[in-house]
Chains A and B, each alone.
Chain A
Amino acid sequence: MGTELSKAVVDGVLTGGVYALMAAGLTLIFGVMEIINIAQGIFVVLAAYLSYVLQVHLGIDPFIGLLITMPLMFGVGVLIEWGFVRRLKEQNKSALSILVTFAVAIVIEGILTQLFSADLRIIKAWYVDKSLHVLGFYLPYIYLLGFVLAVVLLAALYLFLYRSRSGKSIRASVQNRTGAELIGININRVSAITFGIGAAVTAAGGMIFGATNSFNPNSGYDLISRLLVIVVLGGLGSIGGALVAAVAALVIEDVTAVLWSPIWASTMFFAVLVVVLLVRPNGLFGQTAVRAQ
């Protein structure tokens, strides 16, 4: 039991990192634009299919393939922001944007179903089935690599937001949209970049997801529900909060699977949200007013 438990904790931390990567885009987009991007779940699945296609048809390793899928997903994000989100009228924007991104998700799901059918797929590579044996744990390479990738990309995202000029514009827009506009920041450009980055980061998360889980076009629903729980737990708009929340929620899920039953593990994932909201209605790291205007 003891080893099983500590293994569950380690697994939870490793998968939590990947979930944080998938949730980072969602919380970033919310932070800048106050838009809940329901399409984030299907973005993960789309990215997984892209990696799958590159690997199966062109023989490109999924990690190398990120050099192709991440820019591609960046383009998808920019396109969706430009094509649909930007065109919404200011009035009712936050409500309509949920419906728009949901509609986009349904269209992408339909296209994927048409192209790949509803059969379950999984990304295979030599490191997917192999494990590293340390301290009595068998750690699958893919989880380790995924966790490292998540840490590297989240760190890169952090550096980008805090050290680059574009990053500064994004943070300025998070703090005060009107003020940012007044000092000459092009909000449309920032929004497009944010959506693009949100989707690009998801591309990496999607590849790891596709290598560690079998997926089909329908997987987007389960993903978006989990990602929403994570970003609310962490406080909408907080990337660090999302990381902590993802790790905590995944550890709790894995531990529940060991201590109680795997059937109830995913229910527990959501129950955490209910409990936290009873105590802190704005999430673990949420502020009362995310944006003071």
Chain B
Amino acid sequence: MASSAVPADPLSGRGLSVARRVLLAALVLFAVVFPFVFTNPATTSIAMFTLLYVGASSAWNMFSGFTGYMALGNAVFYGSGAYAFANLALHLHLTGGAGVFALVPVAGVIAGLVALPVGWLALRTRRHTFVVITIAIFFIFQLLAYNLHGLTNGSSGMSLPIPPWDAQTYNTYFYLAALVVAVVAVTAAWLVRRSSFGLELLAIRDDEERALGLGVRTTKVKLATFVLTGFLTGMCGAVYAYYLGSIYPPFAFEAIFDVTIALMAFFGGLGTISGPVIGALILEPVQQYITLRFTAGGFSLIAFGVLFLLVIRFMPEGIVPSLAGLLRRWLRARAEAGASPQSSSSPPGAAVSAAGITGAVRP
């Protein structure tokens, strides 16, 4: 079992330590005041996208990081959320405003409903085939977005209500909405991870047959998580669509999205709570910068690809597990070298949990 690699598992301590609570509160406070301090629209736009990716990558990690099933078609839910939101706004004849954000969870639920048959079908297969099926289903949805004119208006795209906000505060609303979605996604991942449900997911990742033998209802557990992932990703897609103001099939269903959220989770630390958050916080601004810097031609693609390759080459385990390993080694070295009795009061495991890792380091 993976959790055996971390002796003092965070699960044994029910809540968060005081230091972590303070740190977390400070972080959220910083995130809330951010758009009022940095008012440049270019900055808030990048920040909003970053938060959407924090949410989407955390949602991806909740299923794929915990169970070990690589899903490479989460853009299906992102796009479904976007189109559900656009359709709801259209048919309810809504005019732009902050109230429209109330539809975001509804769009999320619709994306979750989409995830139900998708997950049921894809989860009939194991590992490698599962990856390919999720990719194939992604392309089916992209094609459907072009073909189902009644729902998507095909390649002409759909317009969304335009909010009446002035340029200075425009991004702030979207930023705060994205922040709420991101916080919901991370909290959901955290709650899942520390529940027995989360342990069942990890058991599936480590040895599915054995988990099944030990009484984990593997299919049900996997499907439930898959649907939750769909719901959270769909909410991100809804905010995205509202922000863009119009939505087209290639933007709603984007292949690079599928890979980007996976890479962020890998970069930060697969199967950890803080991993996808850190991964998105670092990679998304870089991606946005690359896109803005090299608008035309193939340079932005080359830069993307090279960035991806560098991440995989030098950070295959992710930042959080790598740093946690370093910290653990450093503490052990210190404990061995110094005779200070206090150092024994912070065992390696506690240091690991302080670094934000939640017992997902593989042996």
Does any Cβ of A come within 8 Å of B263's Cβ? Answer: yes
Does any Cβ of A come within 8 Å of B72's Cβ? Answer: yes
Nearest-CB distance from A6 to chain B (Å)? 27
Best-surrounded residue of A34, A106, A229, A267 (most CB of chain B within 10 A): A106
Within 8 A of A (CB), among B180-239: none
Which applies to chain B's interface (DSSP): helix, strand, loop or mixed? helix
Cβ contact within 8 Å between B266 and A99? yes
Known: A36-B128, A96-B316, A282-B129. A112 touches B140 (CB 8 A): no
Cβ contact within 8 Å between A282 and B125? yes
- Residues of chain A lying within 8 A (CB to CB) of residue B255: 221
The number of chain B residues with a CB under 8 A from chain A is: 43
Does any Cβ of A come within 8 Å of B251's Cβ? Answer: no
CA distance A147 to B124 in the complex (A): 35
- Residues of chain A lying within 8 A (CB to CB) of residue B128: 30, 34, 36, 94, 236
The answer, among A34, A100, A266, for a CB contact under 8 Å with B143, is A266
Within 8 A of B (CB), among A132-185: none
The number of chain A residues with a CB under 8 A from chain B is: 53
Known: A84-B309, A277-B124. A225 touches B297 (CB 8 A): no
Cβ contact within 8 Å between A103 and B121? no
Nearest-CB distance from B297 to chain A (Å)? 6
Cβ contact within 8 Å between B312 and A104? no
Does any Cβ of B come within 8 Å of A114's Cβ? Answer: yes
Best-surrounded residue of A98, A112, A115, A263 (most CB of chain B within 10 A): A98
- Residues of chain A lying within 8 A (CB to CB) of residue B22: none
Does any Cβ of A come within 8 Å of B127's Cβ? Answer: yes
Cβ contact within 8 Å between A110 and B143? no
Closest to A100 in B: B312
Known: A88-B316, A100-B312, A102-B308. A110 touches B298 (CB 8 A): yes
Cβ contact within 8 Å between B133 and A106? no
CA distance A40 to B140 in the complex (A): 19
Chain A, residues 63-80, CB within 8 Å of chain B (1/0): the string is 000000000000000000
Chain A, residues 275-289, CB within 8 Å of chain B (1/0): the string is 001100111001000
- Residues of chain B lying within 8 A (CB to CB) of residue A87: 313
Does any Cβ of A come within 8 Å of B304's Cβ? Answer: yes
Does any Cβ of B come within 8 Å of A125's Cβ? Answer: no
Cβ contact within 8 Å between B312 and A114? no
The answer, among B124, B270, B298, B299, for a CB contact under 8 Å with A92, is B270
Known: A225-B135, A277-B133. A110 touches B312 (CB 8 A): no
Does any Cβ of A come within 8 Å of B362's Cβ? Answer: yes
Does any Cβ of A come within 8 Å of B170's Cβ? Answer: no
Chain A, residues 254-285, CB within 8 Å of chain B (1/0): the string is 00000000011011001101100110011100
CA distance A286 to B306 in the complex (A): 35
- Residues of chain A lying within 8 A (CB to CB) of residue B301: 106-107, 109-110, 113
- Residues of chain B lying within 8 A (CB to CB) of residue A229: 136
Cβ contact within 8 Å between A267 and B140? yes
Closest to A89 in B: B316
Nearest-CB distance from B104 to chain A (Å)? 29
CA distance A104 to B132 in the complex (A): 18
The answer, among A94, A106, A267, A281, for a CB contact under 8 Å with B304, is A106
Count A-B contacts at CB 8 Å.
132
Chain B, residues 295-320, CB within 8 Å of chain A (1/0): the string is 00111111111101100110010000
Within 8 A of B (CB), among A5-49: 30, 34, 36
Known: A30-B128, A267-B147, A281-B124. A99 touches B262 (CB 8 A): yes
Cβ contact within 8 Å between A271 and B140? yes
Does any Cβ of B come within 8 Å of A228's Cβ? Answer: yes
Cβ contact within 8 Å between A111 and B270? no
Does any Cβ of A come within 8 Å of B70's Cβ? Answer: yes
Nearest-CB distance from B153 to chain A (Å)? 14
Cβ contact within 8 Å between B256 and A106? yes
Best-surrounded residue of B124, B140, B262 (most CB of chain A within 10 A): B140
Does any Cβ of B come within 8 Å of A293's Cβ? Answer: no
Best-surrounded residue of B259, B270, B301 (most CB of chain A within 10 A): B301
CA distance A47 to B184 in the complex (A): 46
CA distance A104 to B302 in the complex (A): 9
Q: Which residues of B contact A (CB under 8 A)?
A: 70, 72, 121, 124-125, 127-129, 131-133, 135-140, 143-144, 147, 255-256, 259, 262-263, 266, 270, 297-306, 308-309, 312-313, 316, 362
Q: Which residues of A contact B (CB under 8 A)?
A: 30, 34, 36, 84, 87-89, 91-92, 94-96, 98-100, 102-107, 109-115, 117, 217, 221-222, 224-225, 228-229, 231-232, 236, 263-264, 266-267, 270-271, 273-274, 277-278, 281-283, 286
Q: What are 22 of the A-B contact pairs (CB < 8 Å)?
A: A34-B128, A84-B313, A92-B316, A95-B131, A96-B316, A99-B262, A103-B259, A104-B305, A106-B302, A113-B298, A217-B298, A221-B139, A228-B132, A231-B132, A263-B147, A264-B147, A267-B147, A270-B137, A270-B139, A273-B133, A274-B121, A277-B133
Extra A-B contacts (17), CB below 8 Å, given A110-B300, A110-B303, A236-B128: A98-B72, A99-B259, A99-B262, A99-B263, A103-B259, A103-B306, A105-B305, A106-B302, A106-B308, A109-B298, A110-B299, A110-B302, A217-B298, A222-B139, A228-B135, A273-B136, A277-B125
Leading 8 A-B pairs by shortest Cβ distance: A110-B301, A113-B298, A107-B305, A110-B302, A103-B308, A106-B305, A110-B298, A114-B298
